[in-house]
Structure 1
């Protein structure tokens, strides 16, 4: 087979992923794709997720299986709600005398009522009322568990929980809270039984209202009893205080007459009498003084008012006037010596003497009247002085009396207030005894379907969550995957030419890749090697064809040796003189890939222990020649970097068309860097979806530092079934050719 046939075979491999026919002698690095300059592009991530659709389906199926298993094993629960509306507190004795309307319950009151609803006494009463201690849901001792059965077999019985413990278990399934900012309290209860959940929630609300009524009745009863005791004590106090007032009044003589005490009334009367007596004395003295003044002045006293007002004097004056008129009339006819005249004059003189005598009596009467008036005034003033002296003592008694009266009045007012309050309490307590400060506005109804789990919602959530989780897992695996999967990834990340794909084959001595090449010359593996052959054949170093080829990998077990052996056989089958050199003196494996026994080789040639004729052998399956690694050397790297190695390669280039060198792993030894400097071509073998991209970049940097020539990248051990999911390129296999007739 000649070079033309090799080119034809290269064209047949055009079905494989794109392999750029670039000159290896071109020292420029390809520019990464502008849209995928990073290690992983979004499109690669999407294709990677699609490539893991089995994993996505498996994760999704597992998640849904867990969801169905959970739905099948979980115990359904029923949650119901009873609502209670709190009203302003009424019917309390302490608020009977309050005129204002009762204030609505505030936030603190609502929270207090919530605490009362969840208090242990009320829950314990609920447990007793509904016989929840006989329900295994709330009484763990009634549950038939493995632990209980084992303890029962060995004769150990657990202590039965009391009502308080059952109430605690009940509290764990109870939720009491305020509905928004309203005065409504919601009672939510969750149970495995729809009937039990409704019964517990409604009965708890009923017991709460009944407890309110009982507490109100008890408070009213205690308050009424207390008021009765206080009223009885106040009655005794009022009686005692009023008796003390009357006893002190009798003892002190402070009896009331017309709104005042007797001494006060006496003092008022004496003051009044003294005023009148002083006025009478002044009048009498004035009359007496007037009469005396008339006498002292020589005037007739007859002009005095007291004289003029005397009836006797007035009668005598009338007689005098009549007698003088008679004398005047007789004097016209009779002489003064006439006996009638003299008798009339004698009568007149007698009248004057009587008048004078009466006037003197009147003056004496005025004097006596003045003396009596003065004596009365003196007597009254003396009585007043004595009574005023006595009133000093009486005032102190009156102060004490007023204090006693105030105590009696206070006790009487308090007694009247308590009596009024007592009557109102009795009247309103009877009316409000059965009225609570809360009422049920919504009773719990027995639910027809469980509130947990919601099968539809759970399945929907499980479907969405399972799908998202599966996609996330696949995305993370793809995002954090370390290997290359497509030619685009290789070229974008490394900037080096992509040389092709080598499919993965079964492992084993009889199923080695080099043997598969001979057994199936038109199989996918053989065509892939021919594709690599095409890249090698078209590689140029300046104006000449490349002749020396270095096969290197980052790690061991990446398919480097089997690929080198297969390429050597393909080139030899194409008519090219080809030699395969095993330069891995630490772990030689070329003889294993070709099924040859270990023999002397490169080590002996470099040390001068053998010549070319002793170390070059022909491959059993092709016309290719093989130079094994030979024995171990103390410093393989120095031996490979020696001038003797360069001379060996020069000599082989003169004899063979292609010299293929299988080097050690680049991350295990520095031999690859030494050999890269001596060869025309370097092919970096990268295991598909396995070798870390950072490691590949590190190896490329090392090889570039050793040699300025470009390095081609070859993906080996490719899983074709999975590869089709990552790339649009379809790898087709030629149909088997029929055998020729004999």
Structure 2
């Protein structure tokens, strides 16, 4: 199949070829929606291989997995009925009971009762060594951390991980779940956990009750001894001080009361005397004075005095003061006044004496009252002290009675349980495992490994900095990509002769031909001399130089190939040119020798001391020789970075073609090579990508990916 295409491998080729258009700049940070799909399509073999290797590494662990069974029992924890009858019922804290069920003490009992220390599932010391440990004995210590019976903590940790105790949300139900590789052991583990909890809980309760009863008994004996001591002190005090706390007042209080009454009576009498003394001189006698004979007689004299004085005033007003009757009556009035005053003085003196007597008696009575008060106060303090002693004894008696009641209550509760454990759903032997089969884990492992492989390959592809198109070279400058040569099925000289002249690989031949046309169109003239080089060896520069020569020969243009590369790959193209057949260039007499099997003419650079690279005089002689012969010179130059070359391969031709193997040259290397070649004057630099895989190239999402995607199926035919 012979398809004539444009300079980039697609579109019709034109005899008047012009410079191909520049490709759109490639933004490597741009991510489209198809980047993941393209990654899978171009790297699926690597992804599958890497995922397979990782899955294979995890296969021993997957095959060693065993099925796990789980059994659960549900219980309800209630206060015992005896507490309700005794009136001591208290609310059960389910959170605390859950902690008691899951305690280390209960767990140790379950382990010993079920013999879990001898079960390999829970004791690492009884497990068979893994395949890895058998292959590497040094890992056996890591795989088997202890001997049997010496790693109790490891057994406890394994059993604790297999057991779960929790309260069912929103209910007073507690569930115990136990997981094991043995279904019967799973059911036994759950049921035994409840049995051990019930026994241990009641045993602890009985132990606390006995301890409390012993403490109360000792406390009761101590309180009884204190009561007897307090009662004895009260009795001794009462007998010593003859104090009674019986009903009624004591003798001191009775005397004090009597004296107080006398004192009150005496104060009343004194007040009466004071009142009578104050009323003696008044016209109206006091009530007390009115009851005495003296007061009555004095009152009669005053009435007489008043009567006669009134009569005197009348007579004086009628007859005058000189009237004999008036004088007589006036004398009588004066006489009565004197007698009244005399009697008042006598009365006042008598009352004063009486008041003094009462005051003396009041003083004596006050002394007796004070003495009685002292005796009464002393008697009251003794009574108060006796009362205090008796109250203390009473309090101790009440304490002894309260302790007796508590002892009776504890004695009655000794036969009761701490809590009532009602089993709602006992654990039964499970029929189906809770874990999935090995096939499921194998599939999940492969899926995880596949995701990991995609990530690894994606990261590797992301950091891959190898050149696939000229837009990836930062120092390109005026660099022009003239072709994307696909992978040829055969690259020997005979095969190239068949490819170019017979069209056995149309895509390869068309790309070489289009590259020539692109270089001639860009330089506005036919090629007279062309240097073909590469970044490093193995890029295909010698192969493409022969392909270009064969293409020019096929178009009727004579071509000389100057063999400047010392590589074994380059020298194998010099078929039939050995020994004396080599042209001697050192004497400035270049001679082209014809290869008999391909018809290509070679000028070999094999001058001793200069290697394979011609100097400036030799290069000028070769160009003149070719110009006289009307031939195109193609210099097959060594790689730019080849250490065997003594000088930079530049300045040999008017055009330089840099051959880069697709997805092989790192970008930094390509930048350095292009910078070196682009620094020479008078040359036009072109790049051709060699050994391009169209299908994979299209999967990198480059701007011209659609064209390569369409050509990928055709390039393999």
Q: Give the whole-Å Cα distance in 1 for the aligned partners of 2:651 and 2:545.
A: 19
Q: 1:661 Cα deviation (Å)?
A: 0.7
Q: Please give the alpha-carbon distance, in whole angstroms, between the structure 2 residues aligned to 1:231 and 1:408.
A: 14
Equivalence map 1:637-648=2 (5 Å) = 640=615, 642=616, 644-648=618-622
Q: Distance in 1 between matches of 2:16 and 2:90?
A: 100
Is 1:465 the counterpart of 2:448? The answer is yes
Match of 2:242 among 253, 272, 293: 253
Residue of structure 1 in register with 2:574 after alignment: 594
- SS in structure 2 at match of 1:729: helix
| TM-score, normalised relative to structure 1 | 0.67
Distance 2:583 2:656 in 1: 22
Q: Secondary structure at the match of 2:532?
A: strand
- Superposed, 1:262-661 pairs within 5 Å as 263-264=252-253, 267-268=256-257, 294=293, 390-391=375-376, 393-427=378-412, 429=413, 433-435=417-419, 446-453=429-436, 458=441, 461-462=444-445, 464-483=447-466, 496-504=480-488, 513-518=492-497, 522=502, 524=504, 528-529=508-509, 531-536=511-516, 539-540=520-521, 544-572=525-553, 575-584=556-565, 587=567, 590-596=570-576, 605=585, 607-608=586-587, 611-613=589-591, 616-631=592-607, 633=609, 640=615, 642=616, 644-661=618-635
Indicate if the aligned counterparts of 2:470 and 2:687 stay in contact, CA closer than 8 A.
no
CA distance in 2: counterparts of 1:13 and 1:25, whole angstroms: 11
Q: How far is 1:241 from its partner?
A: 1.6
- Whole-Å Cα distance in 1 between the matches of residues 291 and 560 of structure 2? 192
Q: What residue number does 1:705 align with?
A: 679
Partners in 2 of 1:57 and 1:465 — Cα distance? 12
Judging changes above 3 Å, is the alpha-carbon distance between structure 1 residues 186 and 647 closer, same or farther for their aligned structure 2 residues? farther
8 Å Cα contact 1:572/1:622 also seen in 2: no
- Could you say which residue in structure 1 is the equivalent of 2:340? none
1:688 counterpart residue number = 662
CA distance in 1, matches of 2:13, 2:676: 24
User: Which secondary structure state, in structure 2, belongs to the residue aligned with residue 715 of structure 1?
Assistant: strand
Structure 1 residues 535-544 or 37-46, which shifts more?
A: 37-46
* Alpha-carbon distance in 2 for matches of 1:432, 1:625: 118
Per-residue CA deviation, residues 208-263 of structure 1 (Å, 9 max, x unaligned), is: 34433332332223222322322233223223322321222122111234255555
What is the CA–CA distance in structure 2 between the aligned matches of 1:44 and 1:290, rounded to whole Å? 141
Q: So what's the TM-score if we normalise by structure 2?
A: 0.69
Q: Distance in 2 between matches of 1:392 and 1:529?
A: 144
Q: Give the paired residue count.
A: 619
Match of 2:117 in 1: 133
Contact preservation (8 Å) 1:81, 1:188: yes
Match of 1:729 in 2: 711
Contact 2:290 2:296 survives alignment (8 Å): no
1:482 deviates by 3.9
Q: Which residues of structure 1 form unaligned runs of 5+?
A: 1-8, 152-156, 300-375, 507-511, 736-742
Q: Conserved in 2, the CA contact under 8 Å of 1:663 and 1:672?
A: no
Give the conservation status (yes or no) of the 8 Å contact 1:176–1:188: yes
1:660: how far off? 1.0
Change (3 A) 1:581 1:181: farther
Q: Structure 1 residues 452 and 405 mapped into 2: Cα distance closer, same or farther (>3 Å)?
A: same
Q: Distance in 1 between matches of 2:8 and 2:404?
A: 113
Secondary structure, counterpart of 1:626 in structure 2: strand
Q: Which residue of 1 aligns with 2:180?
A: 191
Cα distance change of structure 1 residues 699 and 139 upon mapping to structure 2, 3 Å threshold: closer
* Structure 1 residue aligned with 2:322: none
Task: Provide the C-alpha distance between the structure 1 equivalents of 2:408 and 2:58, rounded to a whole number of angstroms.
Answer: 69
CA RMSD across the alignment: 5.4
Contact 1:565 1:590 in 2 (8 A): no
Query: CA contact under 8 A between 1:594 and 1:620: conserved in structure 2?
Result: no
Sort the Cα spacing of 1:478 and 1:378 in 2 relative to 1 into closer, same or farther, 3 A.
Answer: closer
C-alpha contact 1:18 1:500 (8 A) present in aligned 2: no
Gaps of 5+ in 2: 141-145, 277-287, 299-360, 700-707
1:308 maps to which residue? none
Measured in 1, the distance between the counterparts of 2:147 and 2:59 equals 35
Residues 706, 673 of structure 1: alpha-carbon distance in 2 compared, 3 angstrom cutoff: farther
Give the match for residue 212 of structure 1: 201
Relative to structure 1, is the Cα distance of residues 712 and 450 closer, same or farther in structure 2, using a 3 angstrom cutoff?
Answer: farther
Cα distance in 1 for partners of 2:549, 2:635 equals 10
Q: Residues 102, 597 of structure 1: CA spacing in aligned structure 2 closer, same or farther, 3 A cutoff?
A: farther
Residue 75 of structure 1 aligns to a residue in which SS?
coil
